[in-house]
Structure formats: structure tokens, C-alpha cells
Chain A
Amino acid sequence: MEFPVEQVIIGIFALFGAAVTGAFSVYNTKIGRKITKVEKKKDENQTLTVGNEILEQIVPALERKDDALDKIAEILDNILRTQALTSQQLRGINLILENRCQAIEIVKALQSLIDNQAMHDHLGTSNDAKGNDAKQILDEIVDRLEGNDNSSE
């Protein structure tokens, strides 16, 4: 059997061509898969970036809100503390005022009693020096207390 040289050459070229086509096909498939993979990764990254951009806007806003809340809490704390002090002071002042008012009432009652006693003594027997002294002292106390009250207003 004889093989014509031309046919052998054509056969070789055909085989070579098929091999090259096959190789190209394999590379194409590989490239196609890689491109799909890269595109998928790019999409995922895009989603991540968009999410991060949104978070980037939300988080500082939340942090500013936290600062504002902290400041409000601080202000409220100060107000409550001040109020506590004020109410304490007010209670103290009230107590002092009550005591003073009671003192005036007691002194005035005593003064009235002494006046009555002095009147009684004057009409009855004689002037009582002790009663007059006590009346004078009480008068002075009442004047002083009333004077203090006027000065405090």
C-alpha cells in the first residue's frame, strides 16, 4: 500500500487544526468561567460597597444622636441635681421661716399676756416693775424680728 504524500500532509494539517481548535475551545471555556467568576465577585463587591455607603451615612447620624442624647441626659441630670438642691434649700428656708413665724406668734402671745397682766396690775394693786421690764424686752424682740423680716423682703 502506498500513501500519497499530499494526503498525509493534509491529514497532518487537519489533525493540527483540530488540536488547535480544541485547545482554543478549552481556553475559551476557561476564560468564560473566569469572566463569570470575576463578574460575580464584582457584583458582590458592588453590593458590599453600596451597603457600606448606606452604613457610612447612618452610623455617623446615629453617633450624633448618641452625643445629643448624652448631652440631654447630662442636662437633665444637672437640672435634677439643681432641683434637689433648691428643694433642699427651700425646705431649710421654709423651716427657718416657720420657726421665725412661730417665734413671733409666741412672742406676740406673751406680749399680749403681759399687757393684760400689766393692765390687770394697774387696775388692781400697783405697777409691777418685773412685768414692765419683760414687756420692754418682748417689745424689743418683736421690733427686731419684724425689722429683720422687713429687711429680708
Chain B
Amino acid sequence: MNILKTLRKLDELATIEAEKEKQEQERRKMLIMRLEKSRYNNLKLFNLNPKGDSFC
């Protein structure tokens, strides 16, 4: 019984972590979008080439 309980608990933990990973990935995506937008704005403002690799 204990083993089954442990397995069930582990499954719950795995589900929670998967959910958390999904949320964090979504959050990362939004942040990267904002970062890219900011980068693009700066490139536009300073008239730089958006394809350039030298811009940090």
C-alpha cells in the first residue's frame, strides 16, 4: 500500500513539475518577445541593421 501511495504521490509531483515547466516556458516566451521588441526598437531608433550580429 505504501508503495502504491508513493507511486501516486510521485505521479502527482511529476504532473505538478510538468505544469510548472509549461508555465515557465510560457513566461520565458513572453519575456523573450519583450526583449526582442526592445532590441528591435533600439535597432530602429539608432538606424542599425536588425540582421547584424555585432549588436548586443
B24:A59 contact, CB within 8 angstroms: no
- Known interface pairs A44-B21, A52-B27, A52-B31. Does A38 touch B42 (Cβ–Cβ under 8 Å)? no
Q: Is there an interface contact between A55 and B28, defined as CB atoms closer than 8 Å?
A: yes
Question: CB of A56 within 8 A of chain B?
Answer: yes
Closest residue of chain A to B24 (Cβ to Cβ) is: A48
Residue of B nearest to A28 (CB): B3
B14 an interface residue at 8 Å Cβ cutoff?
A: yes
Query: Known: A41-B18, A41-B21, A48-B25. Contact between A63 and B3, CB under 8 A?
Result: no
**Cβ contact within 8 Å between A38 and B24:** no
Residue of B nearest to A24 (CB): B3
B14 touches A69 (CB 8 A): no
Pair A66/B3 contact, Cβ less than 8 Å: no
In the complex, which range does the number of interface residues on chain A fall in? 20 to 34
5 contacts between A and B (CB under 8 A): A34-B11, A38-B13, A38-B14, A41-B14, A70-B45
Q: Are B38 and A66 in contact (CB under 8 A)?
A: yes
Cβ-closest 7 pairs across A and B: A48-B24, A55-B31, A41-B17, A62-B38, A34-B10, A59-B34, A27-B3
Asked whether A45 is an interface residue with its Cβ less than 8 Å from the other chain, the reply is: yes
Cα distance A118–B21 when bound, in Å?
A: 106
A138 → chain B closest CB, angstroms: 59
Interface string of A16-30 (1 = CB under 8 A from B): 000000001001001
B6 pairs with A31, CB closer than 8 A: yes
Q: CA–CA, A55 to B28, complex, Å?
A: 8
Shortest B25–chain A CB gap in Å is 7
Taking a contact as CB atoms under 8 Å apart, the answer to whether B3 and A49 are in contact is no
- Contact A37-B35, Cβ < 8 Å, known A31-B7, A49-B24, A52-B24: no
